[in-house]
Amino acid sequence: MTSRFVRLPIYAAAVAAVLTFALALPVPAAAQDAGELLDPSTMQEIRLTINTRDLRLIRERYSEDTYYTADLQWRNIRIRNAGVRSRGSASRNPDKLGLRVDFDRYVTGQRFLGLKSIVLKNLWQDGSFMHEALAMALFTRMGQPAPRESFCRLYINNEFQGLYGIVESVDKTFLNRTLGENDGYLYSYQIQEPFHGEYLGDDLAPYKSRFEPQSHERETDRMLYQPIHDWLREANSGDDATWRERVEEYVDLPQFVTQVAIESFLAENDGLLGYYGMNNFFLYRPAGSKRQRFLPWDKDNSFLLPGYSILERADQNVLFSRAFAYSDLRNLFFQVLESAADSSEESASKDAPGWLESEIDRIAALVAPSVEEDQRKSFSTEAFYESVVTMREFARLRPTLVRQQISEIRGRR
Amino acid sequence: MTHKFIVLSAAALLVAAGPATAQDSVPPPTPVQAGAPTTPSSEATTQPPEESGSEQAGSAEQGPEKPAQKKPKKKADDWGFRWSDRPSLRLGSGTRIDFRVRFQGDLDHTTASLDGDDGDGSNVDVARRRIGVDGEIVNIIDYQVESELGDDRNPWRDVYANYKQYGFAQVQAGHFKLPFSLDENTSATNLDFVYRSRVAALLAPGRDWGVMAHGRLLRRGWLRYELGVFREDGDNARTFNTVRVHGGQTVAGRALVQPFRETKAFASDLAFGASFTTSEIPEGVSDLRGRTELDASFYRPAVLVNGQRHRLGFEARFRPGPFSIKSEYIRLSDERRLQSVDNTDLDPFVSSGWYVSGTWALTGESKAEGLDNPRRPLFRGGFGAVELAVRAERIRFGAGAVDPLASDAPRAEVVLGNSDRAYTFGVNWYANRWIKIQANLVRNTIGFPEQGPSPAQPVYWSRLIRFQFAM
């Protein structure tokens, strides 16, 4: 009996130790999902650990796409041996790094909350820090597949790097979530000299250099690029009577017109009808199909002006200018614009601001403390607050100005 | 290519048939072993210079320890041109220049679809085309100069001189193999198989410029030592890729114990050895590579290393009568100081491997004395010597593919590696002193086939045939 009483505290201590150890263990990643990370209403905190030599090299060689090893910590989840690299086009810089984090770069099949990769956007070209998040949110409201986005405070080696956007990568995981399948061919458009949908010739090389495969990378050039070649050849052919039938075999024209319309409402200056030709999109072709669709990407340059023309550079783009000649597609374009205007003004009550303005206020409140603390941002804190005011003005004016433009164009026709 | 190979082989056979007449005309029939000294020094006669680790025909590691050549009786014999297995120029007592030619051509075929084959898995390759001279100067210096024809980037192989006046403390300087690994230091012409073991070919250092002390110590010279300093850590793993790093100045040493040497014991040939190298390795991606015997890559590490590179090797050899058995274990570790993502030290990147091999001379020759001088040579009334050989081996880089923590990240705590396990079955035909033909059948198993030469085929077979002419 005595020995039992002696042992009892030992057993109790052992159980306590086991429980303490168990509670100290990180919660498995499966207990949380990507929705929490990409929740736009919460300021996230992401911590990257990168060897100081690698960090120096990333900054020195920020224009290169070289991957380096990093550990990523979010809440109590630590992802080891992720691959991280500098990213972006005009936003690339050594001070506030734009980063892409690939979780399966070095560990086959590794996922973070089910995601293969994320983009840590440095919000370098946007004084309001909210163009991207708002634009993608509108795409989603309009029923179009778009990456989810949230904001985070990024730390590298425990040093605050500033306010960042967390952007869901357009990859197989994204395709499965938004389109319900991911077996097809996904391409990321790589901007070069201005391209407005012109036919690039019989050789597949110019198509290869513009459309970088994100899936089926090992397939032959013919499998990868012939449908793109055929689409552009047909889109540039002269026979108006059969143009639409031939082109629709290769591209979803209503979807294309819808995306252009939403970008147009957003006064997007660097999209499908961008100032430097087509830009910032993915192309997706389901397996077993020749028909391709567009997916939006990188909307930093949206919200340019409230009075931005809804047909800005519309005549330059081969595909759009010819599609616009068809009355049903033209009407679709106007309908989407009107829907976007309506959606942005939609409010919970009569006196409350519209959805777009409410979102601007909400995001401004969410990010302001981090913006003030961000020493690496390219705009001043004052410029941020001024941009928020400009954004509110955009939200109030843009729907009306878009409707006016639609009326004028319809009136002319 | 196949035709070229056959023509070259036939030409070499004709050349080999020719000297038999010439040899008959040269008195006396002194069995000058490749590189064997003519010095009267008793130490030197039992310790030919090839023991220093240089790759020569007749390396003492694999080759025989032949009786010393008799002292020339006439002074006139010390001068002039001689033919004794090979052309030789005598320039006075104890001074000579021997001229050497070596050719090896390979035919191979594999069931795996490897890069670089000609479509049906077959290849024809010229493995070695070497010419050179060796010899000695006034009985106290051995030398060798050998070059690989067609290798414009790195033509020199062995280029060294060995001061051998005192057998217990000889000094060798130049470009030669570091004293590490029994198999690596066996001459290519004396290999039991077409290719060296993977562990020797990939983890042993190979050649470099340096200086080395070596000799035999203790009673009957049963302890042999080699200790040297080298400019870098050898050329085996080195690549022309400047991103990859290799060891800098290297200290290498080897000790071989032959406890029953020069006794009449059955185990008189039994030898055990241990060797090491140590060098600094700068920060960068390791230069190590995993390649199969047919040069197909199965591992290309991205791992970053920094600190010390250490090699450790153990070897054993026994050659009773027509049989032989030998084995080695080699471990190479590269430190990874400050290489974790948070700038702490990581566990060293370790590569290791072993092999066990055995041979049996069916025609009865003594393995210790060498099969390169068959009892009944071809073209001289016989068929030559025939030998069977078998080898089991394994080499492994990093952690096994099954380790769930393993990653191929440059700064991974557990480095995702790969392994190759191979079984080789061979037949060697020593036609005569100059010609040898080897046929090998190799079964490779790649541990992590996704990184291997044939991802859909973790197990595959290769057939190799090597024709060798060495003079």
pLDDT at B5: 43
- Cα nearest neighbour of A51 on chain B: B341
Query: Strands, DSSP E only, in A87-137?
Result: 99-102, 117-121
Interface residue ranges in chain A relative to chain B, Cβ cutoff 8 Å: 49-54, 68-71, 80-81, 83, 105-107, 157
Angle B212-B214-B219 (CA atoms, 0-180°, nearest 5)? 165
User: How confident is the prediction for chain B on average, in pLDDT?
Assistant: 83
Structural domains of chain B ordered from first start: 99-470 (2.40.160.10)
| pLDDT of the residue at A6 | 53
What integer is the mean pLDDT of A374-384? Answer: 97
- Quick one: pLDDT at residue A141? 97
Q: Whole-prediction pTM value?
A: 0.81
Whether the predicted pLDDT of B119 surpasses 70 = no
CA atoms A146, A152, A158, A159: torsion sign: positive
What residues in B contact A106, CB-CB < 8 Å?
A: 407-410, 412, 416
Structure tokens at A370: 């981090």
Residues 6+ apart with CB under 8 A from A25: none
Mean pLDDT over all residues of chain A?
Answer: 92
Q: Which of B283, B338, B341 sits opposite A69 (nearest CB)?
A: B341
CA A210 from chain centre, in angstroms, equals: 19
Q: Which residues pair with B331 in a beta bridge?
A: B312, B352
DSSP string computed for B235-287: SSS--S-TTEE---SEEEEEEEE-TTTTS-STTTT-EEEEEEEEEEEEEEEE-
Query: Is residue A247 predicted with pLDDT exceeding 80?
Result: yes
A367, A379, A382, B333, B354 from A385: Cα distances, Å: 11, 10, 5, 57, 69
- Least confident among B49-63, B142-156, B258-272, B320-334: B49-63
What string of DSSP letters covers A22-39? HHHSPPPGGGS-HHHHT-
- In angstroms, the CA B237 to CA B231 distance is 15
Of A51, A83, A107, the CB nearest to B340: A51
Are the Cβ atoms of A106 and B283 closer than 8 angstroms?
Answer: no
Between the two ends of chain A, the Cα-to-Cα distance in Å is: 101
Residue A134 token pair:
């708002």
Question: Nearest C-alpha of chain A: how many angstroms from B157?
Answer: 38
Among A128, A96, A162, A164, which Cα is nearest to A382's? A128
What is the enclosing helix (H) or strand (E) of A278?
Answer: none
Q: Contacts of residue B303 in chain A, CB cutoff 8 Å?
A: none
Q: Three-state DSSP class for A233?
A: helix
Indicate whether B76 pLDDT > 70: no
CA angle B64-B69-B71, nearest 5°?
Answer: 165
List, in sequence order, every beta strand (DSSP E) within B92-121.
96-110
Residues B409, A81: C-beta atoms closer than 8 Å: yes
Shortest CB distance from A106 goes to which of B283, B342, B408?
B408
A81, A101, A158, A218: best mutation site toward chain B, by most B Cβ within 10 Å? Answer: A81
Q: What is the predicted pLDDT for the residue at B20?
A: 35
- Cα angle B115, B118, B121; round to 5: 70
A81 contacts in B (CB within 8 Å)? 407, 409, 411-412
* AA identity, residue B297: S
The answer to whether the CB of B393 falls within 8 A of the CB of B198 is yes
Mean pLDDT on A29-53: 90
**pLDDT at res. B113:** 64
The alpha carbon of residue B302 is apart from the nearest alpha carbon of chain A, in Å, by 10
- Note whether B424 and B391 are within 8 A (CB): yes
Nearest to B407 among A50, A53, A81 (CB): A81
Q: Give how far B250 is from chain A: nearest CA, Å.
A: 26
Task: Give the one of B341, B407, B413 whose C-beta lies nearest to A51's C-beta.
Answer: B341
Percent of chain A exceeding pLDDT 90 equals: 87
Of B296 and B65, more confident: B296
Per-residue confidence (pLDDT) for residue B13, from 0 to 100: 41
Q: What's the burial of B83, exposed, middle or buried (CB within 10 Å: 0-12/13-18/19+)?
A: middle
Contacts of A80 in chain B (CB under 8 A): 407, 413
Whether A106 and B340 lie within 8 Å, measured CB to CB: no
Residues B68/B45, Cβ–Cβ less than 8 Å: yes
Closest among A368, A369, A308, A299 to A126, alpha carbons compared: A299
Q: What is the pLDDT of residue A32?
A: 75
pLDDT for residue A13 is more than 90:
no
Averaged pLDDT for residues A292-321: 96
pLDDT reading at A266 higher than 90:
yes
Question: Judging by DSSP bridges, how do beta strands A185-189 and A77-86 pair with one another?
Answer: unpaired
> Does the structure show a pLDDT above 50 at B37?
no
Its ipTM equals 0.80
Contact between A51 and B409 using a beta-carbon 8 Å cutoff? no
Q: Among A132-141, A258-267, B221-230, B444-453, which is the least confidently predicted range?
A: B444-453
Look at residue A4 and tell me whether its pLDDT is greater than 80. Answer: no
CB B199 within 8 A of CB B288: no
Of residues A156 and B433, more confidence is placed in A156
Quick one: average pLDDT of B439-448? 94
Instruction: Label residue B410 exposed, middle or buried (CB < 10 Å: 0-12, 13-18, 19+).
Output: buried
pLDDT in tens, B93-114: 889 999 999 998 888 888 876 5
> Alpha carbon of B253 to those of A93, A220, B214, B310: distances in Å?
51, 53, 9, 12
What separation in angstroms does the CA of A253 have from each of A9, A271, A297?
A: 75, 16, 19
What's the gap in Å between the CA of A50 and the closest CA on chain B?
A: 5
Percent share of chain A, pLDDT over 70: 92
Cis peptide before B28 (omega within 30 of 0): yes
Has residue B12 got a pLDDT over 90? no
Kindly state whether B347 is in contact with chain A, defined as any CB-CB distance less than 8 angstroms.
Answer: no
Instruction: Tell me if A50 and B341 make a contact (CB, 8 A cut-off).
Output: yes
Q: Are B175 and B208 in contact (CB under 8 A)?
A: yes
Which chain A residue lies closest to B343 (C-alpha atoms)? A51
* DSSP summary character for residue A277: B
Tokens linked to A47: 């911590």
Domain boundaries along the sequence of chain A: 36-172
Chain B residues inside the 8 Å CB shell of A53: 283
Hunting for tokens 């164009």 — which residue is that?
A409
Non-local CB neighbours of B364 within 8 Å, separated by 6+ positions: B322, B375
**pLDDT score of B69:** 45
Percent of chain B with pLDDT over 90: 58
Q: Which of B339, B408, B416 sits opposite A51 (nearest CB)?
A: B339
By Cβ distance, the residue of A52, A106, A157 closest to B409 is A106
Q: Lowest mean pLDDT of A98-102, A186-190, B122-126, B327-331, name the range.
A: B122-126
Query: Is the pLDDT assigned to residue A97 strictly greater than 80?
Result: yes
Q: Are B407 and A83 inside 8 Å of each other by CB?
A: no
What residues in A contact B407, CB-CB < 8 Å?
A: 80-81, 106-107
Smallest Cβ–Cβ distance between A81 and the set B283, B343, B412 belongs to: B412
Residue of A nearest to B414 (CA): A81
* % chain B with pLDDT above 70: 81
Asked if pLDDT for residue A19 goes beyond 80, the answer is no
User: Picking from A322-336, B51-65, B157-171, B399-413, which range would have the lowest pLDDT averaged per residue?
Assistant: B51-65
Looking at residue B9, what is its pLDDT?
A: 45
**CB distance from B339 to chain A under 8 Å?**
yes
Residue A22 predicted with pLDDT over 60: no
What does the block give as tokens for A143?
């029923």
Cα(B60)–Cα(B50) distance, integer angstroms: 6
In chain A, the residue whose alpha carbon lies closest to the alpha carbon of B284 is: A53
Is residue B217 within 8 angstroms of chain A, CB to CB?
A: no
